[in-house]
Structure 1
Amino acid sequence: MDITLDLIRDIASGISFAVGLAFLLIGALGMIRLPDVWARVHAAGIIDTIGAELIVFGMILQAGLTQASLKLLLIGLFLFVTSPTATHAVANAAFTAGLRPLNLRKNQSADVLGRETKS
């Protein structure tokens, strides 16, 4: 019976690692391929929040009910709170610096700062 639970835990953590790795790879590819800073910030948010959380969850499953899993849970909670906050701070700094999306028509102040597109 104990071997079955270990096998289920190993399979669940392997799935969590694989899905987390997929999110990390897709986000890293997005960081390279996407055209402007706004799209890249979105890709970085995916990497930080979803990918890292799934990797940490897989480690928690592998650790079992130990002190290490409690520490990993606290690390996951810290990442869950700080990653979106850091992504927002980077986006806010880019906006304050004057960067606008590539196909921006107008912003809230009605100034056209990106490339205009004809509609």
Structure 2
Amino acid sequence: MSALAPWLDYLAGSLVLLGAIFALLGALGLARFSSFLRRLHGPTKASTLGVGCVLIASMLVFSPGPQASLHELLITLFIFLTAPVSAHLLVKAALQQQPELRPAAPPAERDSPN
């Protein structure tokens, strides 16, 4: 493995650190929030960004040349596509099991412009 340029090394290191911070925040959100819907928010947002930052850093460090590494790009794409879809399906399943989780409908507008 060849030595990296100093700016690339700093960029990759900061991306790994940022990714670790995002993943830690997602894990804390999962552990500390009170309800199911709040607990679902932490891992789907913060952990997805954390994994994305780590994968981009891996792509910068381990790509063989100026071209991007296809494996890291595909993993990042699949995580960014599947995490929101799985969270949406989990929320729909939770609302199916416990309909009282559904928020109240907004009050009807009294002065409609029609």
| TM-score, length-scaled by structure 1 | 0.75
Distance 1:100 1:52 in 2: 33
Sequence identity (%):
30
In structure 2, relative to structure 1, the CA distance for the partners of 1:48 and 1:29 (3 Å cut) is: closer
- How many residues of Structure 1 are paired with residues of Structure 2 in the alignment? 104
In structure 2, relative to structure 1, the CA distance for the partners of 1:6 and 1:99 (3 Å cut) is: farther
In structure 2, relative to structure 1, the CA distance for the partners of 1:27 and 1:41 (3 Å cut) is: same
Q: Superposition RMSD on alpha carbons, in Å?
A: 2.6
**Moved segments of 4+, more than 4 Å:** 65-68
Q: Which residue of 2 aligns with 1:88?
A: 88
Partner of 1:88: helix, strand, or coil?
helix
Partner of 1:107: helix, strand, or coil?
coil
**Residue 77 (structure 1) aligned with residue 68 (structure 2):** no
Distance 2:38 2:26 in 1: 11
| TM-score, length-scaled by structure 2 | 0.78
Give structure 2 stretches of 5+ with no counterpart.
106-114
Give, as a single letter, the amino acid of the residue that structure 2 aligns with 1:49: T
Q: Deviations over 1:43-102 (max 9, x none)?
A: 12124421111111111111134588211111111111111111111111111111655x
Q: Which residue of 2 aligns with 1:23?
A: 22
In structure 2, relative to structure 1, the CA distance for the partners of 1:13 and 1:99 (3 Å cut) is: farther
Give, as a single letter, the amino acid of the residue that structure 2 aligns with 1:8: W
Q: Which residue of 1 aligns with 2:35?
A: 36
Give structure 1 stretches of 5+ with no counterpart.
109-119
Give, as a single letter, the amino acid of the residue that structure 2 aligns with 1:77: L
Displacement of 1:28 in angstroms is: 0.5
Which of 92, 97, 104 is the aligned partner of 1:107? 104
